[in-house]
Structure 1
């Protein structure tokens, strides 16, 4: 028995692109996580594919939302964390000096990749408040989507089995229709596990459809 594929139609007025964590600490060889995610980013051509999605949605005048990940000094005083939360704190991932302070942000691991800045900093893209663990329960993404009349989400970004999958699960619970662009994501690969393989399995079980970038761009252009 094979799973059904409900399908996902990109349509103007109710469909948006949501990208999680398009930041240097994940996507640059100089980022603090490159040693564990670099293989997957390279294999999936994640950096190029995210740029293609940004470009296509901007050309189609579809709304774009970025759900970023930042840690401020007060976040490092949490009394308990999960395994990967502890790691992110230990390696100072996405660190910023404060929510109202951009000192040192430009070019840091918390910053966007340079090639994405024309799309994100164009005055149209909605950059939400940061999510703090993996999902959007702690930020303003759902509110911002609702206020713009969005009911369908093309989802991409980093990392595949953590923030992307957590966003997928919460958006589904919130009543959104979601398709994941699987090769515009990537995940940690370690001797004991492959985060990308885990994510792809769950995308197929949860999302309305799992697309590659070529197909996602084609549907955006045809909308």
Structure 2
């Protein structure tokens, strides 16, 4: 992340906002939202608006590092993807970004039971991540349709695995990452975020990553960089 992003973290500290800290242990898992082509591949429909943030954060490299470290340590990763099926396009109303996603056919799938055309599509997972997705530590959850996991099985899966603490990463920071974070906090999970394993829209006069970073600093237990996460994970007891 660029230095101006970390000024948000410094400003919170200077303002007296506590940083409770986050200890990784055996009851900790990672939740990754939307590690998909439509966000992270150069021909993805959202790439033009997120590319600057993704490049500044080294998001793809950092997400790959998170996947690799989790596999090496046997740490669970719960993936919360985003899919749209043909019936979803018949919705009668929607917010601004819903309209954008539907108009661009973002995350498009032919059907719930139809995987034809999925491989390599915008809804598919980024190729760099696929080497990790068949690991025993990966749990693929039902898709969210807006931004939060409220209508998915994510919380059920976390609780069934007796997960109490969550590290958030993925796309995009101000939408699905922040919405998942808020939802999980309200459900009683302890949550931190790996900020530079994420990215979000950046447009003239509108840096959504910086706005999300400010919110996440205020509501989570800690904001990690990927490097800090690796250090914390290496010193953690996961047994």
What is the TM-score of this pair, normalised by structure 2? 0.91
Give ranges in structure 1 of 5+ residues lacking alignment: none
Deviation for aligned residue 1:115: 1.4
The correspondence for 1:201, drawn from 206, 210, 214, is: 214
1:15 and 1:152 in contact (8 A); partners too: yes
Equivalent in the alignment of 1:215: 228
**Residue 121 of structure 1, CA deviation:** 2.3
Counterpart check, 1:4 vs 2:3: no
* Residue-by-residue CA offset, 1:118-154 (whole Å, 9 max, x unaligned): 2112244100000000000011100000000000001
Listed one character per residue, the Cα deviations across residues 156-188 of structure 1 (whole Å, up to 9, x for unaligned) are 000000000000000000000011011001010
SS of 1:154 mapped into structure 2: strand
Question: Which residue of 2 is the match for residue 110 of structure 1?
Answer: 123
1:151 aligns with 2:164: yes
Matched residue pairs, number? 222
Q: Give, in whole Å, the separation in 1 of the partners of 2:179 and 2:81.
A: 13
1:119 aligns with 2:117: no
The 8 Å contact of residues 56 and 221 in structure 1, kept in 2 or not, is answered as no
User: 2:48 aligns to what SS in structure 1?
Assistant: helix
Look up the SS of the partner of 2:196 in the other structure. helix
- Runs of 4+ aligned residues of structure 1 deviating over 3 Å after TM superposition are none
Report how far residue 214 of structure 1 moved: 0.3
Q: Distance in 2 between matches of 1:217 and 1:99?
A: 36
Alignment partner, residue 5 of structure 2: none
The 1-side partners of 2:90 and 2:211 are apart by 31
SS at match of 1:108: coil
Deviations 1:192-219 (A, max 9, x none): 4111011110011110000100011111
Q: Residues 16-63 of structure 1, C-alpha deviation per residue, up to 9 Å, x if partnerless? A: 011000001001111111110001000000000000001111111111
CA-atom RMSD in angstroms? 0.9
> Is residue 2:26 matched to residue 1:26?
no
Match 1:178 to one of 191, 202, 210: 191
In structure 2, C-alpha distance between the alignment counterparts of 1:2 and 1:34, rounded to whole Å:
37
Q: Contact between 2:171 and 2:177, CA under 8 Å: does it hold in 1?
A: yes
TM-score calculated relative to the size of structure 1: 0.98
